[in-house]
Amino acid sequence: MELARLVPLLLLFAWLLPLGSFAAIVFAGPRMGRGGHKAAYLATGAIGAALVLSLAALGAWLWHHPLAADSQAAAPLSGDWYTLAEFGKLRLAIGYYIDALTLGMFVMVTLISTCIHVYSIGYMHEELGEVTDPLVRGSDGGPLVRPGRFPRFFQYLSLFCFSMLGLCVAGNIAMVFVFWELVGICSYLLIGFYIERRSASTAANKAFIVNRVGDFGMIVGIMILLGGLGTFAFGDHLGAGGKVEPGIFSQVRPASAEHGLVVPDGLVRMAAADRLAAVYASMPSADAAEEEIARQIPQLRRAGYGYWLLILAGLGIFCGCVGKSAQFPLHVWLPDAMEGPTPVSALIHAATMVAAGVYLVGRFYPVFAPEVLLVIAVTGCITLFLAATIAIAATDIKRVLAYSTVSQLGYMMFSLGVGGWAAGLFHLFTHACFKALLFLCSGSVIHACHTNEMTEMGGLRKKMPWTAGTMLAGCLAISGAGIPLLIGLSGYHSKDAILAQAFSFARHAPAHGWLFYVAAAGAAITAFYMFRLWFMTFAGKPRVEHIYDHAHESPAVMIVPLVILAAFAIGAGWTLPVVNWGLPELLEQARPLGTAEGFPEARTIAGLVIPAEHYSHEPALHRIVSLAAFAAALVGFLIAVAFYGLRLLSAEAARRWFAPVHWLLVHKWFFDELYDAVFVKPALFLARQAAEIDRGVIDWAADGSARLCVLIARIDDWLDRWIVDRFVNGLARWTWRLGLALRPLQSGQLRQYVVMIAVSTVTIFILVSIYRNYALLP
């Protein structure tokens, strides 16, 4: 079968398998064995099969587009599986847009999800029977006892995978938006899995509501693109009559302009609507007006019409990604998402939810103007620094990892913003591997210790050698450990690429050079807090004796995924020599057309040049950055060793010296308090006022009218009972009495009737004779 048919077909099945598993568990979950334990096998089987299909699709793709050291962009496959509706030129379709990035995402998502599924079988086993939740008080005052929800967990996991895969394969923005929201609702369901815990339900609400803020911007962006370009589709597709309808990407970067960024006609028309209306009014016929407009459009475009709309569209799309990928103003939901079970945290942080935002920025890269990229870079930079600093002071093991995720996502956004398209997405892939690993390790620790507080752990390395070893690999990977200039763990390669691009950006646009230094400092902080975590958990002496005594290594079903993920965390960044198989080469194939040579100088911000990514590969530049990044990571590592490993310095003393800073970091830069004061409190205040109005005015009016109705009904009832009923009943009673009175006349005696007839006749005759003066009487 040819590639253009085979790959979409494989991905279609890979995508729909989790949906099938979801549907099966919805309908038959609790009946699948004792406690529904077979649901786990179904879900794991589905995602495992999806992994196999994704690998097959990737294999087929690579067979046709072999990787090389200087991979060229390969044309993406785009088309529709099913058209839902058609309104004129606008099509709502279930479509696909498949390039190497899509395939990479499929393999990554299914691989990590498979590991997490397997791990969950072990981690969630308590849900098989009745669960006693010590954190919730039941109706009898003791801990809450509830039935287990094992199948439901896997049902949500399947839906989550389905949504994420749908998002990756989506061929148009409408579909992206649908799956975007599905991912959101899945995260909501899973974060709130322990729904009885107030903190969990609040965290779920928070995640959902904060994401809505971002989605609002995304809808604005989608509307601008739809209004200006008249299509949802990413790629070109055959329209009615065999004409090729250009998709979003080829409208913004048309082949006629050598894939340079061009404001599409539609956006120019939208921006200059007033002028064009005047042209229409002045021209004799519509055709002539169209001709005149077509003549004027290049002129208007040069004058800058539509450019702001393009920026706004880009910012809108990015706004959605800010919410989903937990970037700076909207990052507050991700740490709270720790309330879900740990495998869910791993899934959200590594493969699905937060990856979606970075993926979408990567996907929409051709549409972004340089100004938008600067916003992305600055947002990412602020995020990475803020989150890294907060992670220093956190003591909850999952919270440290959560802030580290926020920080790493900031790196990815930052990289995309400074022009490192491949570097940013490369980091997305490597980060997925080691962050899933770190979370599952922390889950293993929590499983053993039944606490999240690192201050109660310590010395666990002897009790849990596998967990400690794999987690060390994860820590080394995220810190970017390696032998400089030669080889390293996965994080070393991706972070190097990001910093190199940042350095190249700082050279080309010196006004924004500070971003590089912040990112480098972030690398040092990353190494510091990750090793702080590892040392506090696994090294030293046990801090709380009974927790240490109780701790035990996790079962094999949880350890095997850790080992697999550790292997990927170590090796995902490598490029195999000779065959040149590696993630950077794969991503290079997917690079959007026209972005390889960087971006021209921005129209509105002087001196903003986004350099091409290949500058960052120059050996001279790369060497400096590699050494700088390594030095930064080493500094962070050494500080962590000094404080927590060898205890040469006292963390207590440091905390006292920097008390105000520590106070600021422990309170997470007061974002929650700020949002609480600025948004939540006023919203609650408004709600309370509205409730008062509801109770005081509307309820009063409603109750009053109800009471009035009752009164009128009473009067009506009285009238009915005492007037109408009496009249009708009286009539009936009189009729009855009359009947009774006449009854004796009907004796049934024939002879009596005869006499009566005769007498009556004669009587009538006599009467008539008297009154009519008839002849009977003289």
Partner 1 sequence: MPLLNQPVSLSHYLVVGAILFACGILCMATKRNAIGVLMGVELVLNGAAVNFVAFSAPFLRGDAELALGLDGHLMTLFVIVLAAAEAAVALAIALCYYNTHATIDVDEGDELRG
Q: Which residue ranges make up the site for partner 1 (CB under 8 A)?
A: 742-751, 754-755, 758
Q: Which is nearer to partner 1, 139 or 746 (CB)?
A: 746
The CB-of-762 to partner 1 minimum distance in angstroms stands at 9
DSSP conformational letter for 96:
E
Query: Measured from the CB atom, is 83 or 749 closer to partner 1?
Result: 749
| Pairing verdict, β 77-87 and 90-98 | antiparallel
Distances (CA, A) of 625 to 414, 500, 504, 505, 639: 16, 6, 10, 12, 21
Nearer Cβ to partner 1, position 240 or 741? 741
Nearer to partner 1 among residue 745 and residue 777 (C-beta): 745
Contact yes or no for 383/406 (Cβ under 8 A): yes
Q: Which residues touch 309 (CB under 8 Å, ≥6 apart)?
A: 224, 228, 263, 267, 270, 271
Contact 403, 538 (CB under 8 A): no
Is 687 or 758 the residue whose CB approaches partner 1 more closely? 758
Which is nearer to partner 1, 604 or 747 (by Cβ)?
747
Identify the CA nearest to 263 among candidates 232, 233, 235, 224: 224
Distance CA 682, CA 689 (A): 10
Q: Which is nearer to partner 1, 141 or 744 (CB)?
A: 744
**Minimum CB separation from partner 1 for residue 751, in Å?**
5
Nearest approach in angstroms of CB 703 to partner 1 is: 59
**85 or 742, CB closer to partner 1?**
742
Record the tokens describing residue 360, joined without a space: 């979408």
Q: Which two tokens stand for residue 452?
A: 């999240």
Q: Which residues contact 216 (CB under 8 A, 6 or more apart)?
A: 319
- Supply the minimum distance, in Å, between the C-beta of residue 708 and partner 1: 53
In the complex, the smallest distance separating the C-beta of residue 729 from partner 1, rounded to whole angstroms, is 24
Rg, Å, the chain Cα set: 38
Determine the Cα–Cα distance for residues 621 and 170; give it in Å rounded to an integer.
37
Residue 621 belongs to what H/E stretch? helix 619-640
Considering beta carbons, is residue 604 or 752 the nearer one to partner 1? 752
Cβ proximity to partner 1: between 749 and 763 the closer is 749
Q: How far is the CB of 736 from partner 1 (least distance, A)?
A: 14
Contact, 539 vs 472, CB < 8 A? no
Q: State which residue, 241 or 739, has the beta carbon closest to partner 1.
A: 739
Q: Taking the complex as a whole, how short is the minimal distance between the CB of residue 747 and partner 1, in angstroms?
A: 6
Least Å distance, CB 773 to partner 1, is 20
**Nearest distance in Å: CB 752, partner 1:** 8
- The answer to whether 450 and 123 have CB atoms below 8 angstroms apart is no
Q: Which is nearer to partner 1, 651 or 758 (CB)?
A: 758
The dihedral built from the CA positions of residue 689, 692, 697 and 698, taken in this order, carries a sign that is positive
Task: State the minimum distance, in angstroms, from the CB of residue 740 to partner 1.
Answer: 9
Q: Which is nearer to partner 1, 455 or 760 (CB)?
A: 760
* Closest approach of partner 1 to the CB of residue 763, in Å: 14
Q: Which is nearer to partner 1, 729 or 749 (CB)?
A: 749
Residue 85: Cβ within 10 Å count = 8
The residue (of 620 and 745) whose beta carbon lies closer to partner 1 is: 745
CB nearer partner 1, residue 748 or residue 778? 748
Task: Give the residues across from 530 on adjacent strands.
Answer: none
Rounded Cα distance between 220 and 496, Å, is 35
The amino acid that residue 155 corresponds to is Q
Nearest approach, Cβ of 769 to partner 1 (angstroms)?
15
SS3 for 86?
strand
DSSP for 18-29, written as a single string = HHHHHHHHHHHG
Do the Cβ atoms of 366 and 212 come closer than 8 Å?
no
What is the C-alpha to C-alpha distance for residues 568 and 107, in angstroms, rounded to an integer? 12
CB of 755 to partner 1, least distance (A): 5
Q: How far is the CB of 734 from partner 1 (least distance, A)?
A: 18
> Residue 768 CB, nearest distance to partner 1 (Å)?
17
Q: Measured from the CB of residue 733, what is the shortest distance to partner 1 in angstroms?
A: 19
Residues 6+ apart with CB under 8 A from 181: 215
Contact 136, 88 (CB under 8 A): no
Q: Which residues in 61-81 are b (16+ Cβ under 10 Å) and which e?
A: bbeebebeeebebbebbbbbe
Contacts of 731 (CB under 8 A, 6+ apart): none
Phi, psi (degrees; rounded to nearest 5) at 133: -100, 105
C-alpha span between 116 and 558 (Å, rounded): 9
Tokens (6 digits) for 393: 């002071």
Contacts of 342 (CB under 8 A, 6+ apart): 123, 398, 439, 440, 442, 443, 446, 447
